[in-house]
A and B are shown apart, each in its own frame.
Chain A
Amino acid sequence: MATAPVIIAVRDVVNRFGTQTVHDGVSFDVHAGEVFGIVGGSGSGKSVLLKTMLGLRRPDAGVVEVEGRDITQMSDAELRDVKRRYGVTFQHGALFTSLSVTENIILPLVEAHRLQEATLQSLAELRLRMVGLPVEAGAKFPAQLSGGMIKRAALARALALDPVLLFLDEPTAGLDPIAATAFDDLVLYLRRTLGLTVVMVTHDLDTLARTCDRVAVLVDRKVIVDTLPGIVRNEHPWIREYFHGARGRVIDGQQGGAGHGA
């Protein structure tokens, strides 16, 4: 992994809200083609970090480079071009409730390009197939979908513009273990076949173990990045509590198999 090119470089990022400092010099790299997990306690600034990487929030200090270009200094127009390179899914799907699934998926395409209706329908069908939804689901409205289908539909919308980067916020939260495992497999499959780079915020230890090549832990306003076995061995008290607490044993047992090598 270490030899793959760096696709996102976060350098000495500082985020403050008033007198409260959320990030104090956070630095890490995300390599092309890897699945990168972000974990941290409530209020540790996971969402703020994600927004900073997405260019939705300008950090108070520091640099975020996406494909070698500093997005913190960009004009809005340049930033829009960068945004077309990535897809995002939000924690609760954030599908537009007044549009059908197909209309949700083609919305970014309609906004970005002039295409025939038949082409749009065909592309929507492609995205539905890519995320493993039946083609009939396209005519349904978000309120008619189950939680797992909403996550998949949101992923289909995120894939609409053929992104190279995928940001997933809690992709498996609220799913049953079978659906969560299926979603993990889907992410891995897309990563393998399309060479996507995936950045995900997750609290699901199984998802971390199954999918993530490397993990960033937000503690004490800093970040610690390592492979999962490396993180699990870390002596920091919060990290010990996180991975070795009552809920952490699942990971413990898999220590050997989870890593993909540093």
Chain B
Amino acid sequence: METASSRMPEEAYFNARVDADQAQLLLAGDCRAADLAELESVLAAWRAAGARSLDLSEAGAFDIGPAWLLRRALADCDTAPQMRGSLPGHFAYLDELLAGGSARTADRPPPPRQPPALAQLGRQIEARLHSWYEALTYGGQVISTAGGAWASLKRLRIPSIVRHAYETGYQAVPVVAVIAFLISVISAYISAQQLRPYGGEIFTVDVVAIGVLRELGVLLTAIMVAGRTGSAYAAELGVMKLNDEVDALESMGINPYEVLVLPRILGLVIALPLLTIVADFMGLLGGAMLTRYLIDLPWPQFFTRLDEAVGPTTFWAGLVKAPVFGLLIGLTGTLRGLQVRDSSRELGRLTTVAVVQSIFLVIFADALFAIFFLEIDF
């Protein structure tokens, strides 16, 4: 015996009861959309009991949804159940609806079958290769647009480049400065501790200076900018794509690469080296402060030691990487943004991809630079 009821203001209560011994279902009161869940469970219990008779003599009005479920349940019965009372008025309308097709769900197309594992692997490889091909094509298109744009200043969109350099560079100064300062303090602290047993605390300056100038300054800045700007580029272009704004530009005969992509990438290529200089400065400042208080190295001596530790190329070995990282982040962010189609979920997915891939590319390129500099003894 199963009983269920629910409240609706100013209406007859819906009340459903299944008599398992008789396989009888009794429905009373108005059955509204709010009663769908109760109706579903009593229909299941009724069918499990054998569904032999149905009592609708006390039933009130039905909404379409519940009427549809009841009709479905009746259609699924092997033998028509004994009826008391009259069927809901909507059954005529539902019959009319179904006149064109069968009442069963079976006419829905079957879900697509999983292809065999080998075929799946092949498809994944093909998709990966295609994505590389797309990225290469994209890079080529940007380069050819850039080549054309050098011809005239107007096509280079200087104001737009300046705006993007301002937004991605100047506005990121505080966060980049704080991060660089903190990281250099941490690395100075750890190396001072490690070098103390050997009496080589003075080499803390070497570690911090070379570490910050060659690697940490530019790498941390690039990673911060990838998170900050790579995502912004992908999201901006993605929304424009969803809004057909990119198509609108193209329809006006304006090259979207020229007005949307190139200024963003060039802005970043300009901004990232400048940010790197800020990060280098703050990193050295952090190192100087820590050595001053941790190993009691006076300021003048720090700078003398710094001068000895740092070669003529150390600063440039870090800085020269910055425009390359900027290019990688800008290309990835804009490409992923332009790949957005159709749905808001794609926008989120590709924004994530843009950030993850640009950080990956930055670190990968950094490793290549390290090997290259080692080989040419830079």
Contacts and interface: CB of A to CB of B under 8 A. Distances in A.
A98 B345 contact: yes
B108 interface: yes
B23 to A, nearest CB: 21
A143 interface: yes
**Which one of B68, B69, B107, B344 has the highest number of Cβ atoms from chain A below 10 Å of its Cβ?**
B68
Interface string B63-98: 111001100100000000000000000100110011
Interface stretch (B14-22, B29-37, B169-177, B188-196): B29-37
A97 B343 contact: yes
A141 interface: yes
B122 interface: no
Given A123-B69, A135-B108, A98 B37 contact: no
Given A115-B36, A119-B40, A194 B64 contact: yes
B109 interface: yes
B47 interface: no
A134 to B, nearest CB: 9
Given A116-B40, A143-B343, A136 B33 contact: no
Interface in B206-263: 242
State the majority secondary structure of interface residues on B. helix
B97 A112 contact: no
Contacts of A109: 36
Contact of A97 (B34, B69, B105, B345): B345
Interface in A141-164: 141-143, 159-162
B342 interface: yes
Interface stretch (A38-46, A125-133, A202-210, A243-251): A125-133
Contacts of B65: 123, 126, 160-162
Contact of A123 (B68, B90, B93, B341): B68
Nearest to B33: A162
B110 to A, nearest CB: 11
Given A113-B36, A129-B97, A122 B343 contact: no
Contact of A114 (B33, B37, B44): B37
A98 B108 contact: no
A135 B100 CA distance: 12
State the majority secondary structure of interface residues on A. helix
Interface string B34-67: 1011001000100000000000000000011100
Nearest to B345: A98
B339 to A, nearest CB: 14
B68 A136 contact: no
A143 B341 contact: yes
A60 to B, nearest CB: 29
B344 A97 contact: yes
A55 B375 CA distance: 71
**Which one of B90, B93, B98 has the highest number of Cβ atoms from chain A below 10 Å of its Cβ?**
B93
A122 B40 CA distance: 12
B63 A162 contact: yes
A139 B341 CA distance: 18
Interface of A: 84, 96-98, 109, 112-116, 118-119, 121-123, 125-126, 129-130, 135-136, 139, 141-143, 159-162, 193-194
27 contacts: A84-B33, A96-B344, A97-B242, A97-B345, A109-B36, A113-B34, A114-B37, A115-B40, A121-B105, A122-B68, A122-B69, A126-B94, A129-B97, A129-B101, A130-B64, A130-B97, A135-B107, A139-B109, A142-B342, A142-B343, A143-B341, A160-B65, A161-B33, A162-B32, A162-B65, A194-B64, A194-B93
- A-B residue pairs, 6 tightest by C-beta: A98-B345, A143-B342, A162-B63, A97-B343, A162-B33, A126-B68
